[in-house]
Amino acid sequence: MSSFAVLHASELVTLAGPKRARVRSELSELAIIPDGGMLIRDGRIEVVGPSNEIENKAGEAEVIDVRGKVVLPGFVDAHTHLVFAGNRLDDFERRARGDTYEQIAKAGGGIWSTVEKTREANEDELVTQAKKHADWFLRCGTTTAESKSGYGLTLDDELKILRVIRRLSKEAPLEIVPTFLGAHAVSREMNTDEYVDLVINDMLPRVTSENLAEFCDVFCEQGYFDIEQSRRILTAAKRFGLNLRIHADQLSESGAARLAGELKTTTADHLEKTDEHGIAALKSGGVQPVLLPGSVYALGSTCYPRAREMIEAGLAVVIATDFNPGSSPTPSMPMILSLACTQMKMSPAEAISASTINPAYSLGRGDQIGSLEPGKLANFAIFECEDYRELAYWFGLPLTHGVYIKGKKVQ
Ligand SMILES: [Zn+2]
């Protein structure tokens, strides 16, 4: 039995509330306890409350004094591409010089350069690089990250990436939720329909028989997988027992948000081009939107998704990093908070709910993480500021003071 007390947080941001994802005005209700504390026992939160009450119950427990600091549930990042080889620095420089997507692809850049490097890398090499990325997430206060495959695009390479994700979840402290994204792009060796057959007939059976993923995702976009192909893959994945996510309407309004509503996917992600019809479809299907402002920013675009309309429509909005080497090379949820407030006009409180409790529900873990409530895992982060709004306000500056997962200090 190991126990300790966290005392005197200037704000203990608990997000205590209904046992479901938060919508509308609930997104602004953070259930903050001033001079708050909590008692942790065996990796779980036992009591939460004002520090004087916690102190009385703490007995002999070790005390961590966090005076002058904010304590939050660890961030939950519901959309990342954590495992890949190499980087895309050359693409980054070309884009800065004004090259187009086509020019970059012609010069050997784009997703194919990452696929080639990832195919060449062995499992150990990928684990080493992924551990470095996982450490970056911890340093930004993230304690759980969804992680997609999708840079292999052959049966063996997709399985390799998912095995790396599994190893990472055992060997690194960051908690990982695995997603199979075999349909991230079409393998160059075949046409799209042949590749869709490969995903459905070869990949999905192996991925699920080896228990390598909880979710299946598809990149539904012109030039990648159209509505019909996406529907085929996601319908098959559902039969195999996977829950569904979808990359929808990032570059064009393709009807992907409506497909998400029809299939009642757990999330629809990106949604930069989603209009009011798409928003209505998400609402009727009970789909959580996952907004990824980091990729809009890093691509130098100004077309952010319509977060305010989604909140007003009653959607349980999530924000995430989309960490990947091409379009969103950031593991930093505080940076995403900043973008959510400045570019999508979310309030700091809404952004906090959208990066903690709502993503926890989108990953099927709302009963375990995402808020600081008795019975939940002691996954939390301590920040060097007195007001939680500072996390979204000061940008480009790491304010992380300490990070705990299941009651263990990992940063
Ligand atoms: Zn993505």
Check: CB of residue 388 under 8 Å from CB of residue 30: yes
Q: What is the mean pLDDT of the chain?
A: 97
Q: How far is the centre of ligand 1, averaged over its atoms, from the C-alpha of 340 (Å)?
A: 17
Check: CB of residue 212 under 8 Å from CB of residue 181: no
SS3 (DSSP) at 373 = coil
352-381 residue pLDDT tens: 999 999 999 999 999 999 999 999 999 999
Q: How far is the centre of ligand 1, averaged over its atoms, from the C-alpha of 247 (Å)?
A: 7
Q: How far is the centre of ligand 1, averaged over its atoms, from the C-alpha of 339 (Å)?
A: 17
Residue 3 DSSP code:
E
Q: Looking at the DSSP assignment, which residues form a beta bridge with residue 50?
A: 36
Confidence class of residue 137 from pLDDT cuts 50, 70 and 90?
very high
Q: How far is the centre of ligand 1, averaged over its atoms, from the C-alpha of 359 (Å)?
A: 15
Q: How far is the centre of ligand 1, averaged over its atoms, from the C-alpha of 147 (Å)?
A: 10
Cα(364)–Cα(241) distance, integer angstroms: 14
Q: How far is the centre of ligand 1, averaged over its atoms, from the C-alpha of 248 (Å)?
A: 10
Q: How far is the centre of ligand 1, averaged over its atoms, from the C-alpha of 3 (Å)?
A: 39
Check: CB of residue 260 under 8 Å from CB of residue 234: no
11-69 residue pLDDT tens: 999 999 999 999 999 999 999 999 999 999 999 999 999 999 999 999 989 999 999 99
Cα(176)–Cα(70) distance, integer angstroms: 25
Which contiguous run of DSSP H or E holds residue 360? helix 357-362
Q: How far is the centre of ligand 1, averaged over its atoms, from the C-alpha of 326 (Å)?
A: 10
Taking the model in full, what pTM does it have? Answer: 0.98
Give yes or no for residue 217 having a pLDDT over 80.
yes
Confidence class of residue 247 from pLDDT cuts 50, 70 and 90?
very high
* Segment 134-143 mean pLDDT: 98
Q: How far is the centre of ligand 1, averaged over its atoms, from the C-alpha of 114 (Å)?
A: 14
Q: How far is the centre of ligand 1, averaged over its atoms, from the C-alpha of 323 (Å)?
A: 8
Give yes or no for residue 334 having a pLDDT over 70.
yes
Give yes or no for residue 329 having a pLDDT over 80.
yes
Q: How far is the centre of ligand 1, averaged over its atoms, from the C-alpha of 374 (Å)?
A: 33
Q: How far is the centre of ligand 1, averaged over its atoms, from the C-alpha of 52 (Å)?
A: 45
* Segment 252-278 mean pLDDT: 97
Q: How far is the centre of ligand 1, averaged over its atoms, from the C-alpha of 410 (Å)?
A: 27
Confidence class of residue 395 from pLDDT cuts 50, 70 and 90?
very high
DSSP 218-241: EEESTTSB-HHHHHHHHHHHHHTT
Check: CB of residue 250 under 8 Å from CB of residue 273: yes
Q: How far is the centre of ligand 1, averaged over its atoms, from the C-alpha of 218 (Å)?
A: 9
Give yes or no for residue 1 having a pLDDT over 80.
no
Q: How far is the centre of ligand 1, averaged over its atoms, from the C-alpha of 148 (Å)?
A: 8
Which contiguous run of DSSP H or E holds residue 291? strand 288-291
Q: 60 or 207: which carries more pLDDT confidence?
A: 207
Q: How far is the centre of ligand 1, averaged over its atoms, from the C-alpha of 104 (Å)?
A: 19
> 154: Cβ–Cβ under 8 A, 6 or more apart, which residues?
119, 187, 189
Closest alpha carbon to 298 in 332, 247, 274 = 332
pLDDT of the residue at 88 = 96
86-136 residue pLDDT tens: 999 999 999 999 998 788 888 888 999 999 999 999 999 999 999 999 999
Q: How far is the centre of ligand 1, averaged over its atoms, from the C-alpha of 251 (Å)?
A: 12
Give yes or no for residue 317 having a pLDDT over 90.
yes
* Segment 216-233 mean pLDDT: 96
Tell me how many degrees the CA angle 334-335-338 measures, rounded to the nearest 5.
90
Q: How far is the centre of ligand 1, averaged over its atoms, from the C-alpha of 407 (Å)?
A: 30
Q: How far is the centre of ligand 1, averaged over its atoms, from the C-alpha of 277 (Å)?
A: 23
Q: How far is the centre of ligand 1, averaged over its atoms, from the C-alpha of 310 (Å)?
A: 20
Return the C-alpha torsion angle 278, 280, 286, 291, nearest 10: 50
Q: How far is the centre of ligand 1, averaged over its atoms, from the C-alpha of 246 (Å)?
A: 9
Cα(226)–Cα(288) distance, integer angstroms: 21
> 365: Cβ–Cβ under 8 A, 6 or more apart, which residues?
76, 144, 177
Q: How far is the centre of ligand 1, averaged over its atoms, from the C-alpha of 80 (Å)?
A: 6
* Segment 154-174 mean pLDDT: 98
Check: CB of residue 177 under 8 Å from CB of residue 147: yes
